[in-house]
Amino acid sequence: MKDELKHAAAIKYDKEKDGAPRVVASGKGDIARRIVEKAVQYGVPVYHDDVLAELLTRLPLNSEIPPELYEAAAEVLFFVYSLEHRQKTGDNDKIIGL
């Protein structure tokens, strides 16, 4: 974890229910640190992007991310799905595209 974590947000996407990923947790300072700690504790992948995290903390909880952030969210989801694929297949090659 970075020396001083300023912002953190958690997103969730259910393709059956959601039109876009939703912000399910967000915060600054100590709350940001706790969000990351819980993610690590429960094996949730952590993607580091300070600018995106700061933008997501501006959104209301449980709101879908706006279209302007779709590309950034797609990168996060690609990262997560790539990690899941690597875990399932045992493929330890580097993730291409990030």
Secondary structure class of 41 (helix, strand, coil): helix
| Six-digit token string for 33 | 């640190």
**pTM reported for the whole predicted model:** 0.76
CA pair distance 22, 13, nearest whole angstrom: 6
Per-residue pLDDT of the chain (98 residues; tens, 9 = 90+): 445 789 999 999 898 999 999 999 999 999 999 999 999 999 888 999 999 999 999 999 999 999 999 999 888 888 888 887 777 776 655 444 33
The CATH T-level fold of domain 7-89 is name from scop (3.40.1690)
Domain residue extents for the chain: 7-89
| Distance in angstroms (rounded) separating the CA atoms of residues 54 and 56 | 6
Residue whose pair of structure tokens reads 């992948």 in the numeric block: 45
Query: How many whole angstroms separate alpha carbon 49 and alpha carbon 88?
Result: 25
